[in-house]
Amino acid sequence: MCAARKPGKPGKPTKAELAARDEAIASAGGEAAPRAAGPGFSAIVGQDQAVGALQSALRRHRLPHALLLHGQIGVGKATGAGVLAQALNCPQSGPVDACGTCPSCHKVERGLHPDVLWVAPQKGLIRLRQISPRKADSSEPEPPHEPIVSWVGYRPYEGNRRVVVIDDAHTMNPPAQNALLKTLEEPPPSSILVLVTPAPGSLLPTIRSRCQTLRFQPLGLPLMRQYLEQQCGMNAAEARLRSSLAPGSLGRAISLDLDAYGVRRDVAETALEDACQGGAALLRSAETLLAAGAGERKIDQASSAIGAVRDILRDLLVLASGNGEEIVVNLDRVDEWTAWARTLDPDDIVDALDAVQRADDRLRSPLQPNARLTVEEALIGVGTALRDGTLG
């Protein structure tokens, strides 16, 4: 546990400080935490342990000066960092919670609080110029905010604590991470730094060792389904589909593009049928399937395409094994797929799933396999497994 520090007393700012702060406010406006579903820590779903640890530290005035919030995408880390920044500066409910309704909380939410700096990647990277003013390479683009190292040096302007949140902290390039080390180790007493990342392993060990880490857990399926139904007003089938497609991550479940998923699923369904035919139909299908995959890189598209095939095979296995509809993901396809599953042997579907898994493993290996060939191989493996054992 890092040593606790008492917040510094707000003193009378100098003219230069005021001017710099006004500039910082103007430039920082906009970047903020994701909009929470409710006020304060109660808006963070399914993270009782992490939230409890934060609130306990706040209650005892023992919040570390550098925090690393990690956990998979869409589990509430950034929202939690935003609520923490609100709580530390909220005159109504702070510092143990945030009211979410006072002017201070509103300013934090809108990215306009002068004592809260939200740092996010620019074109995929957090660069040296966002961290340090002196060491920056002038060829880098102009940062959208005052560099962190100088920003934390000011005393709080209207709140109690200066809070820097570095969202997607793993996108800091190595020079940026190195420039942050000293500030991270010994920030000014009234400042706190909160790093947020789904990939803490991508941070330098020297960064990680200077932070108190707090893990946000993957969310359970029942909790996600309940939230999607009750808070988002979805019907049971959609809530089940979304939470099954984005296991553990409420954020991803909510933002999933179901239309795109539906298109990909249709293509994957045809590809599975063609795989059982083999020959030219299979090769054509591999190409169409790859094109339907989500992602910017060919490898990601291939992984997404193969994943769509795997999702169907998984449901077919459930239905072929007589496990009933309650654990089928694609509820809307149950009737057609039940009939299809009756023609298949569960052992052959397991073999087909193995073939898909082997292809996916190759895609994730450092071998840089050819995306198209890997999708073809996956379909050939699936076709061989299913064709050999077709019952009908």
Closer residue to Zn ion, CB minimum distance, 108 or 211: 108
Residue 166 DSSP label: E
Q: For the sheet containing 212-215, what is the strand order?
A: 116-119, 162-166, 191-197, 66-70, 212-215
Distance CA 358, CA 360 (A): 5
- Per-residue tokens: 252: 């991803």
Name the site residues for Zn ion (rule: CB under 5 A): 90, 92, 99, 102, 105
Least distance in angstroms from the C-beta of 102 to Zn ion: 3
Least distance in angstroms from the C-beta of 51 to Zn ion: 17
Distance CA 346, CA 257 (A): 31
Closer residue to Zn ion, CB minimum distance, 99 or 204: 99
- Per-residue tokens: 382: 């699936």
Closer residue to Zn ion, CB minimum distance, 100 or 293: 100
Least distance in angstroms from the C-beta of 235 to Zn ion: 35
Residue 172 DSSP label: B
Least distance in angstroms from the C-beta of 12 to Zn ion: 24
Distance CA 65, CA 164 (A): 10
**334 neighbors 319 (Cβ within 8 angstroms):** yes
Least distance in angstroms from the C-beta of 101 to Zn ion: 6
Closest CA to 162 of 109, 117, 108: 117
H helix intervals, 186-297 = 205-208, 221-230, 236-245, 250-255, 258-277, 279-292
Closer residue to Zn ion, CB minimum distance, 52 or 91: 91
Least distance in angstroms from the C-beta of 59 to Zn ion: 17
**113 neighbors 151 (Cβ within 8 angstroms):** no
Measured in Å, how far apart are the chain's first and last C-alpha atoms? 64
Least distance in angstroms from the C-beta of 161 to Zn ion: 14
Least distance in angstroms from the C-beta of 358 to Zn ion: 53
**53 neighbors 69 (Cβ within 8 angstroms):** no
- Per-residue tokens: 41: 């820590």
Q: How far is CA 303 from CA 290, 334, 342, in A?
A: 9, 25, 28
Closer residue to Zn ion, CB minimum distance, 160 or 190: 160
Closer residue to Zn ion, CB minimum distance, 90 or 149: 90
375 Cβ contact list (under 8 Å, min separation 6): 286, 289, 290, 302, 305, 306, 359
Least distance in angstroms from the C-beta of 36 to Zn ion: 12
Least distance in angstroms from the C-beta of 98 to Zn ion: 5
Q: In sequence order, what E strands does the chain have?
A: 66-70, 116-119, 162-166, 191-197, 212-215
Distance CA 86, CA 106 (A): 8
Closer residue to Zn ion, CB minimum distance, 100 or 200: 100
Closer residue to Zn ion, CB minimum distance, 90 or 195: 90
Task: Give the helix/strand (H/E) hosting 173.
Answer: none
Closer residue to Zn ion, CB minimum distance, 47 or 86: 86
Closer residue to Zn ion, CB minimum distance, 98 or 148: 98
